[in-house]
Amino acid sequence: MTVEKSKQKIITVDGPSGVGKGTICLLLSHQLGWPVLDSGALYRLTATAAMNDGISEDNHLALEKIAVELDVRFESTANGLRYLLRNEDVSETIRQEATGNMASKVAAVEGVRAALLDKQRSLATTDGLIADGRDMGTVVFPDAPLKIYLTASAEERAERRYKQLKDKGIDVNIRDLVADLTARDERDSNRKVAPLKPAEDAVIIDTTDLSVAEVEARVLQLAQQLFS
């Protein structure tokens, strides 16, 4: 990649489920002082609203309407962001595996993606942005000066997710996790609209054998070359 100084302060971080995008984005956010756009949370919020309203994954028009009218607020707390959907705190609900699976289905609907596009772009400010998702570098911020694409084997990602859930006291079967992640990868990568794939100018980092600190250091080095 040719590295040139840029004024637009956006780093996109894309990659499959469970690869550690959220962790890396938070660390970058602390280092650079830039906010994070967790685009997955928007799809998870849409999925939560749909599940609350009893809307099925096949009812594309109703899902689109939910995304267009999405009534959400984000509040900063000492423990991170709090997500309010129609005034109800859904910060925990949106992180559940079932919500993630529904989010992946909802995210394949063209009208839903179109409705959420402007919401995502409006979060870019001159103060910088770290955008976490699947299509941040390809669709939402195609002109971002630094695009990162993280990968890791499905087994490694399932192992990481397993440890995370176990730490939270949630008991899951690792084989179910691998199956879930693989199904989600398939759906996210093969959908017609904005499929999961690296942008042509993305820096691809295979994190399978890297520590979090090593991944963070690599991205920070690139960011410093570009933005300092």
Of 77, 91, 78, the C-alpha closest to 41 is 91
Span interacting with ligand DC, options 35-43, 81-89, 121-129, 162-170, rule CB under 6 A: 35-43
Tokens of 75: 């509040």
| 181 neighbors 161 (Cβ within 8 angstroms) | yes
104 binds ligand DC per the rule CB under 6 A:
yes
Span interacting with ligand DC, options 37-45, 67-75, 82-90, 216-224, rule CB under 6 A: 37-45
Tokens of 27: 């660390």
Distance CA 9, CA 129 (A): 6
Of 26, 35, 182, the C-alpha closest to 104 is 182
Report, in Å, the least distance between residue 5 CB and ligand DC.
27
- Torsion 214-218-221-224 (CA) sign: negative
Judged by beta carbon, residue 3 or residue 82, the one nearer ligand DC is 82
90 binds ligand DC per the rule CB under 6 A:
no
Per-residue x/- track, 145-184, ligand DC (CB under 6 A): ---------------------------------------x
DSSP SS3 for 183: helix
The residue count for binding ligand DC (CB under 6 A) is 14
C-alpha Rg value of the chain to the nearest Å: 17
Using CB under 6 A, which of 11, 35, 39, 50 touches ligand DC?
39
Judged by beta carbon, residue 121 or residue 225, the one nearer ligand DC is 121
188 binds ligand DC per the rule CB under 6 A:
yes
Residue partners of 226: CB distance under 8 A and separation at least 6:
3, 4, 5, 6, 145, 146
Using CB under 6 A, which of 10, 12, 17, 227 touches ligand DC?
17
Instruction: Name the residues that contact ligand DC, by CB under 6 A.
Output: 17, 39-40, 43-44, 100, 103-104, 107, 133-135, 184, 188
